[in-house]
């Protein structure tokens, strides 16, 4: 019977005899400790995309992170890492990847904000998810070239919709997305109108954003600064009416604010308090936009100088993050 098992006998031989290429020397496993002196710190390697389109490349990298049958929260564990990578590299591609990764949870947060405007469980966390999404969008717009800025809103919506559909999350509606882009377009335009005309400007932290501050603008000579909450005409009117309902603004003050296109609001309490300028971006006053910029920045430059002169603060808190 021995001949029947002869062909299987090699499976029971010692390892060094089975592998003829090692001859009669016993195989020695590699000692990984010898590798340690040659190891270098990890670094991010630019993702290689099969497409030449900026938005397609970012979407392809996000999709590559998903498992075979992705679920809505699969990307949550990668968001912090992607945001930190973008903060470190300042590359437009990294910003777009971080933005698309946040799209599913931001769309879910937006739905809860719309359905429960007066509060719901975990409202603060969901609000910060929206703020983080908007901050990433603004930071990404700052890094892209003019050609990509011109089609940024439409192309990003298409890519975000595809990512949301892959993980089973609802997409932003056209009205929701239009409101986001309209509001953030005005923020970015005000920021660059300040910077391009010799003023200091900074986008605020998430805690300041939750307090209602979008941008801080400072006169570099006097060091006086203002906190600005950029508003579209409809959101400006809605905010004024809400302040009247809360007895924080009189009807007469509402008409005055409506006429001059801005209002002064005192928001927060205790140490977390701020004086904020509600600035209405009226097309009749400030003109049109093109690629997230004012076509003519002179009217906004004059308005910012006026607001700093009349309502500027000198408390030394310009650029100082507020605790959340």
Q: Given pLDDT bands bounded at 50, 70 and 90, which one contains residue 288? A: very high
Gyration radius from the chain CA atoms: 28
pLDDT higher than 80, residue 242: yes
pLDDT higher than 60, residue 141: yes
Average pLDDT, integer, range 229-257:
93
Q: Distance between CA atoms of 317 and 324, rounded to whole angstroms?
A: 15
Regarding predicted confidence, which is higher, 114 or 55? 55
Condensed to tens digits (0 to 9), the pLDDT of residues 43-76 reads 655 666 777 788 999 999 998 888 777 777 788 8
- What percent of the chain is modeled with pLDDT above 70? 80
Condensed to tens digits (0 to 9), the pLDDT of residues 18-44 reads 445 544 444 455 565 666 776 666 565
Q: What is the pLDDT of residue 208?
A: 67
Q: Which residues contact 172 (CB under 8 A, 6 or more apart)?
A: 103, 106, 107, 110, 157, 160, 161, 164, 180
Cα-based angle 86, 206, 132 (whole degrees, multiple of 5): 45
Regarding predicted confidence, which is higher, 9 or 218? 218
List beta partners, residue 141: none
Q: What is the pLDDT of residue 20?
A: 52
Q: What is the pLDDT of residue 22?
A: 46
Q: What is the pLDDT of residue 116?
A: 74
Structure tokens at 11: 């499976």
Average pLDDT, integer, range 129-134:
90
Average pLDDT, integer, range 262-290:
88
User: What is the average pLDDT value for the chain, to the nearest integer?
Assistant: 85
Please give the model's pTM, rounded to 2 decimal places.
Answer: 0.79
**Closest Cα partner for 91 from 132, 45, 144?**
144
């Amino acid at each position: 019977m021995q001949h029947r098992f002869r062909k299987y006998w090699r499976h029971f031989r010692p390892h060094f005899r089975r592998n003829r290429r090692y001859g009669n020397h016993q195989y020695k496993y590699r000692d990984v400790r010898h590798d340690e002196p040659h190891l270098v710190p990890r670094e991010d390697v630019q993702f290689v995309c099969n497409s030449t389109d900026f938005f397609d490349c970012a979407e392809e990298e996000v999709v590559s992170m998903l498992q075979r049958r992705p679920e809505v929260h699969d990307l949550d564990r990668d968001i912090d890492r992607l945001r930190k990578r973008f903060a470190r590299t300042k590359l437009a591609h990294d910003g777009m990847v971080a933005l698309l990764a946040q799209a599913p949870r931001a769309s879910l947060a937006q739905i809860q904000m719309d359905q429960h405007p007066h509060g719901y469980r975990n409202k603060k966390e969901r609000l910060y998810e929206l703020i983080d999404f908007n901050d990433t969008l603004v930071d990404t717009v700052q890094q892209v070239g003019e050609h990509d800025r011109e089609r940024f809103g439409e192309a990003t919506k298409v890519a975000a919709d595809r990512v949301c559909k892959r993980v089973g999350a609802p997409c932003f509606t056209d009205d929701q997305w239009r409101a986001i882009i309209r509001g953030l377009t005005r923020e970015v335009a005000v920021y660059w109108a300040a910077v391009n005309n010799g003023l200091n400007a900074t986008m605020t932290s998430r805690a300041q954003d939750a307090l209602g501050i979008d941008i801080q603008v400072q006169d570099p000579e006097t060091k006086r600064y203002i906190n600005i909450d950029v508003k579209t005409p409809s959101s400006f009117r809605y905010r004024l009416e809400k302040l009247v309902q809360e007895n924080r603004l009189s009807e007469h003050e509402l008409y005055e604010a409506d006429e001059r296109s801005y209002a002064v609001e005192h928001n927060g309490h205790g140490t977390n308090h701020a004086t904020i300028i509600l600035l209405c971006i009226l097309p009749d006053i400030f003109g049109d936009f093109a690629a997230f910029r004012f076509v003519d920045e002179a009217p906004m430059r004059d308005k910012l100088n006026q607001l700093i002169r009349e309502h500027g603060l000198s408390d030394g808190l310009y650029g100082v993050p507020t605790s959340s």
